[in-house]
Amino acid sequence: MKRNKAPDIKTENALNIPYVKIILCLFLICTICAGLLGTTYILTRDTILENEKATVQKLLISIYGDDAVFESDVTVPEGQKAEAVYLAKNPDASLRGYAIRVLSPGFSDDIDMIVGFNADGTIRKIEIIALSETAGLGTKVAESNYLAQYVGKSDKLALKTDIDAISGATKSSRAVLNGVNLATECLKALGA
């Protein structure tokens, strides 16, 4: 790109550079920017956290129905690679199932998902929170008719024998499967 010709000549003569001015100027710009950033962060922080919670809540309701009561303060068992464990209870306080949130490395980024289990340890429903797979190929693993084949299964699953892969998106299919297996392990560690 074109640059200002005149000030460039000044750069040649290093002794003339007004260092103090540069430092002051950058300091000022950084201060303004820091102020702007800090304000935005504080203003948006709560909303972002609420959005996140609301998304998870919506997915939990979609797994367990809207009459379930959820507890989110279940600690993840030691040595398990799960992000969070949620407990779903029937209105009469008996266990409806555990939902386990896991991150599984996909084709381009982690797939963030919740695996919902029934009280007997079989899979009730899988919900994807976020994924950034190739549109039209990898994103097919998030479609409900693909995820439906997991319903009712339990224990460690394998691709092709237990679960079909999407052709052309084996890596994404495997990522979902790995996530489910992580969740299953975590469920066993919970002793359920």
Partner 1 sequence: MKHKISTLCRDGLLDNNPVFIQLLGICSTLAVTTSLSNGIGMGLAMTLILVCSNVFISLLRKFIPNEARIAAFIVVISTFVTVVDLLLKAYIPALSESLGLFIPLIVVNCIILARAEAFASQNGVLDSLFDGLFMGLGYTLALVLISALREILGNGSIYGIRILPENVPAVAFFQTPAGAFIALGLMTALMRTVILKLKARKAPKVKH
Partner 2 sequence: MDLVNLLLIAFSAIVVENFIFSRFLGVCPFLGVSKQPATAFGMGLAVTFVITVSNFLTFEINDLILKPYGLEFLQTIAFILVIAVLVQLLEMFFKRYIPVLYHALGIYLPLITTNCAVLGAALLAVESYTSVLEATFFGFASSIGFLVALLIFAGVRERLVFAHPPRAFEGMPLALISAGLCAMAFSGFSGIQL
Task: Point out which residues bind partner 1 (CB under 8 A).
Answer: 1-4, 7-8, 10-11, 17-18, 21-22, 25-26, 29-30, 33, 36-37, 40-41, 43-44, 47-48, 51, 55, 108-109, 130, 132, 134-137, 168
Nearest to 107 by CA among 88, 133, 126, 127: 133
66: left (phi over 0), alpha (psi -120 to 50) or beta: alpha
Output 34 or 69, the one with its CB closest to partner 1: 34
* Contact partners, residue 181, CB within 8 Å, separation at least 6: 156, 157
| Residue 108 near partner 2 by CB under 8 A | yes
Question: Total residues at the site for partner 2 (CB under 8 A)?
Answer: 8
The entry of partner 1, partner 2, none near residue 170 (CB within 5 to 8 angstroms by kind) is partner 2
**Residue 27 touches partner 2, criterion: CB under 8 A:** no
Q: Which residues contact 150 (CB under 8 A, 6 or more apart)?
A: 123, 126, 157, 163, 180
Please, which residue, 131 or 190, has the CB nearer to partner 1? 131
Binding range to partner 2, per CB under 8 A, among 17-25, 33-41, 62-70, 124-132: 33-41
Q: How many CB atoms lie within 10 A of CB 105?
A: 13
Q: Nearest distance from residue 110's CB to partner 1, in Å?
A: 11
E strand map for the chain: 69-74, 82-89, 95-105, 110-117, 123-130
DSSP helix/strand/coil, 91 = coil
168, interface contact from partner 1, partner 2, none, CB < 5-8 Å by kind: partner 1
155 vs 21: CA distance, rounded Å: 67
Least Å from the CB of residue 39 to partner 1: 9
Give me the residues that bind partner 2 (CB under 8 A), please.
1, 33, 37, 41, 105, 108, 170-171
